[in-house]
């Protein structure tokens, strides 16, 4: 039996021309089998390799696929927020085009949403990361716990993926635009707003081709700025 609850899946994409069509077709096939109503929101983040044209063609062929285009590369944080802002279904989540969270796992995770407003999905492990990525991830978690010890309690991984009730998104959309603090700020704000936040472990699937674009010095400094800004504003009770 198909899920009667509807799903918006946001997928930010950057320079994935060789992978995007196969990945989206795979995703669409599974969601059609599991959900009565869903949409896939593809956000091209300033790709320069023809990815945008492939995604636009996919959207024209399938009414369940929507295409958003960043003319320049704005990074994952902003791309996710753009997708969230136009989502129309009951539950909203994001995933990478390489599906670090397997699409097949989404239905069982949606079932957990009966008990919460935000479901934080944490990686069971993070193999496939470079040494630099491991170091920056450890530093990110340490600084977040230092600045937000109570709000960060019991949730280690805020940078994998999450599922949100669409009705809560307006309350928790972040000021952060950095790729590494966009979703953590949303989770922390959800806790501040008294929303029901739960976490669950799930398998992580490292990408088999290409490589990610995170961990650059600019991204690290951007994330630190967003963290301290949120700390100051949360102390002033502006959220």
CATH number at residue 166: 3.90.550.10
42 in a domain, yes or no? yes
Distance of CA 135 to the CA centre of its chain: 21
1 in a domain, yes or no? no
> Do residues 177 and 78 lie in contact, with contact meaning Cβ atoms separated by under 8 Å?
yes
Rounded to an integer, what distance in angstroms lies between the CA atom of residue 239 and that of residue 237? 5
Which residue segment(s) compose the domain that 90 sits in?
7-235
Both tokens of 150, joined, read 């109570």
Q: What is the pLDDT of residue 127?
A: 56
142 in a domain, yes or no? yes
Domain total in the chain: 1
Q: What is the CB neighbour count within 10 angstroms for residue 196?
A: 14
195 in a domain, yes or no? yes
Rounded to an integer, what distance in angstroms lies between the CA atom of residue 219 and that of residue 199? 26
Between 235 and 176, whose confidence is greater? Answer: 176
- pLDDT grade for 238, boundaries at 50, 70 and 90: very low
Average confidence score pLDDT of the chain: 91
Q: What is the pLDDT of residue 230?
A: 95
Rounded to an integer, what distance in angstroms lies between the CA atom of residue 82 and that of residue 155? 25
Reply yes or no on whether the pLDDT at 129 is more than 60. no
196 in a domain, yes or no? yes
List, for residues 53-96, the tens digit of each pLDDT value.
999 999 999 999 999 999 999 999 999 999 999 999 999 999 99
132 in a domain, yes or no? yes
């Amino acid at each position: 039996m198909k899920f009667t609850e509807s799903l918006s899946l946001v997928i930010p994409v950057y320079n994935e021309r060789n992978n995007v069509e196969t990945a989206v077709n795979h995703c669409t096939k599974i969601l059609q089998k599991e959900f009565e109503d869903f949409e896939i929101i593809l956000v091209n983040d300033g790709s320069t390799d023809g990815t945008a044209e492939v995604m636009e063609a996919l959207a024209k062929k399938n009414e369940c696929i929507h295409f958003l285009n960043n003319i320049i590369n704005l990074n994952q944080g902003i791309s996710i927020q753009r997708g969230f802002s136009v989502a129309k279904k009951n539950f909203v989540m994001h995933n990478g085009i390489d599906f670090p969270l397997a699409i097949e796992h989404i239905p069982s995770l949606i079932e957990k949403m009966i008990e919460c407003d935000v479901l934080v999905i944490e990686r069971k492990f993070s193999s496939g990361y470079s040494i630099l990525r491991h170091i920056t991830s450890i530093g990110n978690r340490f600084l977040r716990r230092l600045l937000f010890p109570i709000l960060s309690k019991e949730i280690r991984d805020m940078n994998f993926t999450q599922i949100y009730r669409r009705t809560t998104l307006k309350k928790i959309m972040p000021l952060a635009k950095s790729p590494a603090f966009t979703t953590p700020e949303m989770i922390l704000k959800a806790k501040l707003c008294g929303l029901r936040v739960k976490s669950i472990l799930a398998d992580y699937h490292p990408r088999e081709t290409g490589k990610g674009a995170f961990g650059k010095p600019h991204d690290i400094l951007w994330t630190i700025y967003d963290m301290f800004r949120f700390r100051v504003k949360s102390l002033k009770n502006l959220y």
